[in-house]
Amino acid sequence: QELRCQCIQTQSDFISPKFIAKVLIIPEGAHCNRKEIIVTLKDEKLICLDPEAEWVMDIIKKIV
């Protein structure tokens, strides 16, 4: 179980779903006072997304 926030900064620029291999959503909790959305790209890069950016929810809806 992570004991702190995972993201130091978040990216708000759009990322096309075709580059996304995984989306990890971590609700806020005792370990971190903000929700975090971390995508793993197909090139294995990890990027923290801005949970407030509208396109983020759109992408999640598209994937699910």
- Positions touching a copy of itself (CB under 8 A) are 1, 17, 20-27, 29, 35, 37, 42, 44, 51, 56-57, 60-61, 63-64
What is the closest distance, in whole angstroms, from the C-beta atom of residue 1 to a copy of itself in the complex?
7
Q: 13 vs 18, which CB is nearer to a copy of itself?
A: 18
Task: Compute the distance between CA of residue 1 and CA of residue 19 in angstroms, rounded to an integer.
Answer: 27
What is the closest distance, in whole angstroms, from the C-beta atom of residue 22 to a copy of itself in the complex?
5
Task: Compute the distance between CA of residue 59 and CA of residue 51 in angstroms, rounded to an integer.
Answer: 11
List C-alpha distances in Å: 9 to 34, 36, 46, 62.
12, 10, 12, 24
